[in-house]
Chain A
Amino acid sequence: MATATTYTYDVLVIGAGGAGLRAAIEAANSGVSVGLICKSLLGKAHTVMAEGGMAAALANNDDRDNWGVHFADTMRGGQYVNNWRMAEIHAKEAPERVRELEAWGAVFDRTPDGRINQRNFGGHRYPRLAHVGDRTGLELIRTLQDHTIYLGVTVHMEHTVIELLLDDGRAAGAVGYDRERGRFHLFSAKAVVLATGGAGRAYKVTSNSWEGTGDGHALAYRAGAELIDMEFIQFHPTGMVWPPSVRGILVTEGVRGEGGVLKNSEGRRFMFDDIPDNYKPQTASDAEEGWRYTQGDKNARRPPELLTRDHVARCINREVKAGRGSPHGGVFLDIAWIKEKLPNAEEHIRRKLPSMYHQFKELADLDITKEPMEVGPTMHYIMGGIRVDSDSQMSTIDGLFAAGECASGINGANRLGGNSLSDLIVFGKRAGEYAAQYARKASQPRMDEGAADKAIKDSLSPFDRGSQGENPYNVQQDLQDTMQNLVGIVRTEAEMQEALVRIDQLKERAARLGAEGHREYHSGWHTSIDVRNLLSVSEAITRSAIERKESRGGHFREDYPDKVAEYGTINIMVKPTPGRGMQVLRVPIQPIPEELKRVIEEQKS
Chain B
Amino acid sequence: MKDKATFRIWRTQPAGGGGFKDYTTAVSDGMVVLDAVHRIQAEQAPDLAVRWNCKAGKCGSCSAEVNGRPRLMCMTRLNSLDLDKPVTVEPMRTFPPIKDLVTDVSWNFKVKKGIRKITPRKPDAPDGTYRVAQRDIDRVQEFRKCIECFLCQDVCHVLREHGKFDEFIGPRFFIYAAQLEMNPIDVADRVPDMKEKAGIGYCNITKCCTKVCPEHIQITDNAIIPLKERVVDRFYDPVTRLLHMLR
Contacts and interface: CB of A to CB of B under 8 A. Distances in A.
A116 B129 contact: yes
Interface residues of B, number: 61
A142 B32 CA distance: 27
A102 B130 contact: yes
Given A44-B54, A99-B128, 5 more contacts: A40-B51, A49-B56, A114-B133, A146-B112, A363-B32
A155 to B, nearest CB: 8
Nearest to B12: A520
B77 interface: yes
B41 A523 contact: yes
A243 interface: yes
A579 interface: no
B100 interface: yes
A455 B51 CA distance: 25
Query: Could you say which of A113, A138, A245, A524 has the most chain B C-beta atoms within 10 Å of its C-beta?
Result: A245
A105 B102 contact: no
B113 A46 contact: no
A40 B32 CA distance: 21
B47 interface: yes
Nearest to B30: A243
B132 A359 contact: no
A260 B75 CA distance: 25
Contacts of B113: 149-150
Interface stretch (A160-168, A445-453, A511-519, A547-555): A511-519
B50 interface: yes
B134 A245 contact: no
Given A116-B129, A471-B46, A520-B99, A362 B59 contact: no
A442 interface: no
A522 B53 contact: no
7 contacts: A41-B105, A44-B60, A114-B130, A142-B144, A150-B113, A245-B55, A523-B41
Contacts of A523: 41, 46-50
Nearest to A141: B59
Contacts, number: 171
Interface string B136-154: 0100110011011000000
B17 interface: no
B240 interface: no
Interface of B: 14, 28-32, 35, 41-42, 46-61, 75, 77, 98-100, 102, 104-106, 109, 112-113, 117-118, 120, 123, 127-134, 137, 140-141, 144-145, 147-148, 179-180, 183, 185-186
A223 interface: no
A99 B59 contact: no
Interface string A76-107: 00000000000000000000000110111101
Contact of B134 (A103, A109, A249, A250): A109
Interface string A180-218: 100000000000000000000000000001110000000
A139 interface: yes
B49 A521 contact: yes
Contact of B49 (A115, A242, A520): A520
Contacts of B102: 180, 521
Given A135-B58, A139-B144, A246-B56, A114 B32 contact: no
